Amino acid sequence: MKTHTNPTYEYRRAPELDGSTRHCQVVIVGAGPVGLVAAIDLAQRGIPVLVLDDDDTVSEGSRAICYSKRTLEILDRLGCGEPIARKGVSWNVGKVYQGSELAYQFDVLPESGHHRPAFVNLQQYYFEECLVQRALELPTLSIRWRHEVSGVVPDADCVTLRVATRDGDYALTCDWLLVCDGARSPVRHMLGLDFEGQAFRDRFLIADIHMTSDFPAERRFWFDPPFHPNQSVLLHRQPDDVWRVDFQLGWDADPELEKQPERILPRLRAMLGPDAKFEIEWASVYTFQCRRMQKFRHGRLLFAGDSAHLVSPFGARGANSGVQDADNLVWKLDLVLRGRAPEGLLDTYDSERVAAADENIASSTRATDFITPKSAVSRTFRDAVLSLARRHPFARKLVNSGRLSVPKVLSQSPLNTPDSAPFDGAMVPGAAAADAPVRGPRGDWLLEHLGGGFDLLVFGDVVDSARAGELARRPIACRVVQVGGAQRDDRMVVDDHAGLVAARYDGKPGTCYLFRPDQHVCARWRAFTVTAVHAAIARATGQ
């Protein structure tokens, strides 16, 4: 049984093969999740963008299946959050078992009042199909399928690409090259760039099975279950009655042998019982690595997603962090391309996302040390934690089956303006905006009213029309989004009917938050002054 058939996107002969020449502002290598998100964001801003991909379809196999709340919020801004959230299986609860007993369970999103759930599970091929569909709606975006980058010559003022197709090779030039060509990144290899880190000596089998079952939609993780002794197992539900089972095999397992159905079926029978009816859709044996490039910006080349950094899958920090890379990069590149910010702003893409990659790698390495202990004493402590977790709440905090992806708080960013007054809560400079229910002109959620450009969220009617107009007319415009208070001019006013905007932002009358175009807080004040906002925008744009 196949629940999904990969589409084939049409190859087209390049006009450059027939004598025309082309210079692009932006070329993106790789039409995977990260390349497509970057392309859509750029095209929505009116920047012409060309995507080159060496294949003509979406992901073979389900691969990345857990998409985080932050990813959905980013996709909402790009016009494809809703189809992905609707098709995906939402979940907030994770359960951890030792042996056959529940050691503990956790709620990834323990509070209500958010538009999007903590996670949706969705096969990567559906995720990519939604993005391709959105990409096709945008007039300045084109994707060339089966156009393979075979050479890259970076110069100080432009990048020259060699592209191989079945009809022959051609050359292209561009101002900026976004390298989103995945973990094995051919472009990174061609340029001989570093990719330091460590490989883990363990192997895992992933199998997607089609099965009708009333198991709830939650993440289940077993340490040492009776059906797979001494190893771990992870279970996730996907749409179309497809289930992802991930078996730890150990380093000595033979990857070719373990991929065979006659080896997989007994493992699944032991887990699901002799009477379970299921069919294998897809299976793969993988090892994993934690690595990153030393720098994500190399002159006019900007690396994003797996080409720049790799983590273990425990924590869903691969695709989700790549989407955040694109979200961080595109608004900066847009300002640079329009001549409104210096090229140095792109170095903050590097510093902010390197910090995020380090956080993800540290988190992933810690989870890996717990799941795959590297020494007898490490294994003893792991078992001690699991044994204590059943009865003692403190030990549950130590159980690590993967700390699930949350957006990086860019607290060390040079783009932040430090606080000059005390604030409570989590919305520190550098944090991604927390959502909250509102009633407003764009919908029922706060995040629908933020993003794309700079936004000043103000509590109460504290910015007069002249000042709001001045902010809107600057070369780097800033919109006023007002929480409560009287409607002036045509600004957006949202009704904080549940009081959660005020609660989550420690908002008092006069409080202002400045958000970057990627919805991260970059400054906040207890009172509005137009000069402080101008200065904070200048700082947040590298000026």
Partner 1 sequence: MTEPVFAMATLKTDPNIAGPDDFYEELIGLHRELTDAQSALVNAKLILLLANHIGDPDVLHAAMAAARADIVG
Q: For binding to partner 1 (CB under 8 A), which residues are involved?
A: 376-377, 380-381, 383-385, 387-388, 392, 394-395, 398
- Cross-strand bridge partners of residue 177: 27, 301
Nearest distance, CB of residue 380 and partner 1, angstroms: 5
Nearest distance, CB of residue 229 and partner 1, angstroms: 16
Nearest distance, CB of residue 395 and partner 1, angstroms: 6
Alpha helices in 122-217 (DSSP H): 124-136, 186-190
CB 101 within 8 A of CB 488: no
- Nearer of residues 143 and 385 to partner 1, judged by Cβ: 385
Task: Please state the φ and ψ torsions of residue 191, each to the nearest 5 degrees.
Answer: -90, 0
Nearest distance, CB of residue 387 and partner 1, angstroms: 7
- Nearer of residues 263 and 396 to partner 1, judged by Cβ: 396
How many whole angstroms separate alpha carbon 198 and alpha carbon 310? Answer: 10
Nearest distance, CB of residue 393 and partner 1, angstroms: 10
Q: Write out the DSSP string of 15-68.
A: GGGGT---EEEEEEE--SHHHHHHHHHHHHTT--EEEEESSSSS-SS----EEE
Six token digits for residue 471: 């902010």
CB 219 within 8 A of CB 245: no
- Nearer of residues 377 and 421 to partner 1, judged by Cβ: 377
- Nearer of residues 286 and 381 to partner 1, judged by Cβ: 381
Q: In angstroms, what CA-CA distances link 484 with 205, 441, 497, 519, 530?
A: 53, 13, 9, 20, 20
- Nearer of residues 276 and 384 to partner 1, judged by Cβ: 384
How many whole angstroms separate alpha carbon 68 and alpha carbon 276? Answer: 30
Q: Which has the closest alpha carbon to 384: 403, 367, 398?
A: 398
Q: Write out the DSSP string of 280-340.
A: EEEEEEE--EEEE-S-SEETTEEE-GGGTEE--STTS-SHHHHHHHHHHHHHHHHHHHTTS
The residues, any chain, with a CB within 8 Å of residue 537's CB and separated by 6 or more, are: 454, 474, 476, 478, 514
Q: Which has the closest alpha carbon to 264: 313, 204, 312?
A: 204
Nearest distance, CB of residue 177 and partner 1, angstroms: 45
- Nearer of residues 249 and 389 to partner 1, judged by Cβ: 389
Q: Which has the closest alpha carbon to 37: 76, 64, 75, 68?
A: 75
Six token digits for residue 226: 């009776």
First-to-final CA distance of the chain: 57
- Nearer of residues 11 and 104 to partner 1, judged by Cβ: 104
CA dihedral 389, 395, 398, 402 (to 10 degrees): 30
How many whole angstroms separate alpha carbon 78 and alpha carbon 40? Answer: 7
Nearest distance, CB of residue 106 and partner 1, angstroms: 18
Q: Look at the alpha carbons of 424, 447, 411, 414 in this order and tell me if their dihedral is positive or negative.
A: negative
Nearest distance, CB of residue 404 and partner 1, angstroms: 23
- Nearer of residues 110 and 394 to partner 1, judged by Cβ: 394
Task: Please state the φ and ψ torsions of residue 11, each to the nearest 5 degrees.
Answer: -75, 140
Q: In angstroms, what CA-CA distances link 443 with 68, 70, 76, 116?
A: 21, 18, 12, 14
- Nearer of residues 156 and 377 to partner 1, judged by Cβ: 377
- Nearer of residues 392 and 439 to partner 1, judged by Cβ: 392
Nearest distance, CB of residue 4 and partner 1, angstroms: 45
3-state secondary structure of 267: helix
How many whole angstroms separate alpha carbon 327 and alpha carbon 37? Answer: 8
Nearest distance, CB of residue 171 and partner 1, angstroms: 58
Nearest distance, CB of residue 385 and partner 1, angstroms: 6
Nearest distance, CB of residue 386 and partner 1, angstroms: 10
Nearest distance, CB of residue 369 and partner 1, angstroms: 15
With tokens 């609707």, the residue in question is 86
- Nearer of residues 153 and 384 to partner 1, judged by Cβ: 384
CB 182 within 8 A of CB 195: no
Nearest distance, CB of residue 396 and partner 1, angstroms: 11
- Nearer of residues 109 and 398 to partner 1, judged by Cβ: 398
- Nearer of residues 136 and 362 to partner 1, judged by Cβ: 362
| Residue 136 Cα to chain centre, angstroms | 21
- Nearer of residues 90 and 387 to partner 1, judged by Cβ: 387
